[in-house]
Amino acid sequence: MGRKAGVMRVNPKHLTRRTMPCFQEMLVFLSCLHKFNYDDDKVVKEKNALNICMDVQAKQGKQHNTINYHLQRISRTMKGAG
């Protein structure tokens, strides 16, 4: 029932906006879409804001310096050494 020895866990609740960059824009878009009975023509401003955010994120590329990335790298090296 307890945790296994040697297992490290990271709480995803502590992740910041950096890991979910367009989350706020997506929530605004979806709530407005629901408000106007899923009519795309009435949520153009929110849709454009979400598209701009996604375009900016696509141009930035991936970042591999998260804590989970480093834990996976350490785990692979430790398995290879042992």
Predicted local confidence at residue 31, as pLDDT = 92
Model pLDDT, residue 82: 58
The pLDDT of residue 67? 81
Sorted by sequence, the CB contacts under 8 Å of residue 22 that are 6+ apart come out as 50, 53, 54, 57
Mean pLDDT by 10 residues, the chain (82 residues): 61 60 89 91 93 88 73 81 62
Burial of 47 (0-12, 13-18, 19+ CB in 10 A): middle
* pTM beyond 0.85: no
What's the pLDDT at 4? 61
| Domain residue spans of the chain | 19-81
